[in-house]
Structure 1
């Protein structure tokens, strides 16, 4: 989260887009988990590891953009503009969904045994905690030492983190026989 906030620093509407993306991604996780808990399994368990392809693709795209900016003379980190005002809500949502895809496997049995009332309470608590998560990401991205580091290295860190998340999801889930 801090990397997304750092990438979008100073861009109008960026905080709103990142928070919206976080909520969209988490709402998708909750929707799939609730549907699966009540018998309508939309996402087979064997497909969950392949969600790692989303952050992997986004990381490779960000790495390509950083390399292209560097190649085109954007060596000065201060001169490299944030990508179109920072990440869009769908990019953040895709990373959130892919990174939280394994949570579906945890949420389904909990929701299945909690009933509608319990599931509603869990969902509300989770959605409140998404706001805490966003606040923490924004908080860390605005601390001077962290902000300076992210401003200087964020264009390198973001692709690395996204690729690492994608590979971790793929490998831990056994995608492609890994």
Structure 2
């Protein structure tokens, strides 16, 4: 869990800094930041489609006995957090400082929930199989939905 928190704190720090940088953009440009999660979702959907067509095996090798160190977990969490940063920046930029604080606190609380739920799912073979089978479809759908929501709510393209 320590590694998850370290990695996620780094993701939040980068996203908050980028969101503050986005405040220098004209207000009319902010909704177009929704194009980033939309593009990430389309990319993830394309990759899932290519992997499905090629029959690529998505199972990972077993973790070494004893597990990774907290810094290794933090590094992997941060490295895999590019899509999170891409989603958080436009959300934070449109939420303002108060909204950013609420989001950050909620996200940090939910990291613990996520760790406990992940542990529960990982120990339930039926659930783990279902997530392994459908997870690659859910991620693109969520990213695309977030991108579209930001675009529509911000009034981009006259929506």
- TM-score (norm: length of structure 2): 0.67
User: Shift in Å at residue 23 of structure 1?
Assistant: 3.5
> 1-side partners of 2:127 and 2:18: how far apart?
30
User: Shift in Å at residue 28 of structure 1?
Assistant: 3.1
Taking a change above 3 Å as real, the CA distance of residues 101 and 147 of structure 1, as seen in their structure-2 partners, is farther
- Map of 2:94 onto structure 1: 102
Deviations 1:33-86 (A, max 9, x none): 8xxxxxxx5022111111110100110111111001001013xxxx3157xx67
Report how many aligned residue pairs link the two structures.
137
Taking a change above 3 Å as real, the CA distance of residues 147 and 25 of structure 1, as seen in their structure-2 partners, is farther
Q: Is the CA contact (8 Å cut-off) linking 1:18 and 1:88 kept in structure 2? A: no
- Map of 1:140 onto structure 2: 117
* 2:134 pairs with 1:153: yes
User: Shift in Å at residue 156 of structure 1?
Assistant: 0.3
The CA RMSD measured in Å over matched residues stands at 3.3
- Map of 1:36 onto structure 2: none
Q: Is the CA contact (8 Å cut-off) linking 1:56 and 1:163 kept in structure 2? A: yes
> 1-side partners of 2:103 and 2:151: how far apart?
25
Please show how residues 20-169 of structure 1 align to structure 2 within 5 Å. Answer: 20-29=10-19, 31-32=20-21, 41-74=23-56, 79-81=57-59, 88-104=80-96, 107=97, 128-144=105-121, 148=128, 149-169=130-150
Unmatched 5+ residue regions in structure 2? 61-75
Report the secondary structure of 1:142's partner residue. Answer: helix
